Amino acid sequence: MCGFVGFANFKKDISDNPLIIKNMNKTLSKRGPDEEGYYIKEHIVLRA
């Protein structure tokens, strides 16, 4: 089973802080060995 995590902050650039999404991703580690990909832009970070 897969999962999605994401974070948005429209007041500052969060693209240079990959720890945000990596820490959120740890909460899904027990959901299965699915593939993962990242989408990182200035104000939005997503992991699928």
Q: Which of 28, 18, 37, 30 is nearest to 7 (CA)?
A: 18
Total-model pTM: 0.62
Per-residue pLDDT reduced to its tens digit, 8-41: 999 999 888 778 788 877 777 666 656 667 888 9
Question: Bigger pLDDT: 3 or 12?
Answer: 12
Q: Which of 2, 33, 12 is nearest to 20 (CA)?
A: 12
